[in-house]
Amino acid sequence: MPITISRRYFIAGSALVLCARGAGAQETQVLIAEPKTSKLFGDGPPTQHWHFRTSSELPVVRARQGEQTNLHFINNLAEDIWLHLFGVRADSQTVTVLLPKGPEGTVDLTFTPPDAGTFWIGPLLNAARQREMGFYAMLIVEEANSAFEDIPIILDDWNVEENGVLEKNFADIAIAAGEGRHGNWHTVNGVSKPVVTLFDAKPSRLRLLNVCNARTLNLQLRGAEALLIALDGQPIRSAPLPDSGLVLAPGQRADIVPTRAVDDMALLLDLGNDTLEAAFFTSSGTLPGLAEDFSLPANPWPVIDSNVTPRTIPITLEGGIKGGLKSAIVGTETLELRALLGKGFAWAINGAAGLQQQSLFEVAQNETIILAFDNQTNFDQPVAIDGHVWHQLAADGEQAEGHSWRDTAVIPAKAKASFVFVAVNPGLWTLTSLIAERADAGLIGSFMVNAGP
């Protein structure tokens, strides 16, 4: 069942922002939530769904690092949308806001992104329904001096019948307690098997975003070589795209740059027992080269004081099919499993199902924290930290090899993993599953960063 939450809860720590354009600000970009009819099957029957209409053909908005960004949202639908800027390290009054239901409910967001990278906008609550219906947008934050032509690649799967009608079983607790909603039809940028033109004047940066409700994607390039230069909105040490493929959980992003190509270039989805051609690429000339040791400029990452011993906070993930969850706190009550399922909950974080008035933990601004995850479930768990970035730690407490600053992580089933972060941003933030059905069914909580003196 859809999660409901009072406006008072989020407004208390994350008030609606209604800001006018400031001097030197970029032009306001408008996103309109409205119905849309698309031919997901190409020449097949049309599908009725929802989307964010923008000034471009795709649900993409663009910003520039360090410059004020102005977004104006209009809701022409008959339901509220809790908008969330995933991965954006803006202030807590900006990253989660209520877009009231129509007619023409509106909200304005004004923020200055500190990081260049690939981010996204989507619903934080009632995500199983609203994400599957098509509510999401890519947010591209360009560097001050970009060396690339940016090409959005938004990957989605849809659970759609042969007549083009979307399956509407959004509240199925059995699906929420399992893998989540997997679609049977894949699109790139809202269409089936598009042909994408690569540039030859300067390198093309493919900005990939997995907006599937629950499906983890294994992506491969056929007929091309490419460098992986960023993950989850943050630069990494560039490396060739792995032969085994690039794995993106829901909500994860990656930036890749094709550097050498032959005929028949394609983006492939490895579905285990099958391989799907998801998109094709074409170029009018030779692809520009890129040094193998190329690296994007670093974002303003927090500095960890090596002289301070971080405080460790345990985070236990429970629930799901055969996950051992017996009871959990919902509001002021502790409910047994049967009652939890009856209310649409199947997951819990530290014994609490869903957002509560009481946050999971509180920390002081600029405090260094280790979140020690214990995934007691039978599923890999992609999780996002809100308003911050974190480093994964190895068993010896040092930074895990090959892991950079990121805002998401995947904790393997029945495993433990630890992440260090510096609580630089005061306010109320979320820690949430990136699988829409699990977030709706309880795998979401909040934490408070108390402002310093």
Q: Which fold has domain 311-450?
A: Immunoglobulin-like (2.60.40)
The pLDDT tens digits of the residues spanning 402-451 come to 678 999 999 999 999 999 999 999 999 999 999 999 999 999 999 999 99
Same fold, 7-283 and 311-450: yes
Q: Is residue 258 a contact partner of residue 265, using CB atoms and an 8 Å limit?
A: yes
Q: Which string of DSSP letters, residue by residue, matches 408-443?
A: EEEEPTTEEEEEEEE--S-EEEEEEESSHHHHHTT-
The pLDDT tens digits of the residues spanning 310-361 come to 999 999 999 999 888 999 999 999 999 999 999 999 999 999 999 999 999 9
pLDDT surpasses 80 at 15 = no
pLDDT at 402: 63
pLDDT at 22: 35
CATH of domain 7-283: 2.60.40.420
Residue of 26 and 214 predicted with greater confidence: 214
The pLDDT tens digits of the residues spanning 257-309 come to 998 877 789 999 998 888 999 999 998 778 888 877 889 999 999 999 889 99
Tell me the domain boundaries of the chain.
7-283, 311-450
pLDDT surpasses 50 at 157 = yes
Peptide bond into 250 cis (omega under 30): no
pLDDT at 404: 87
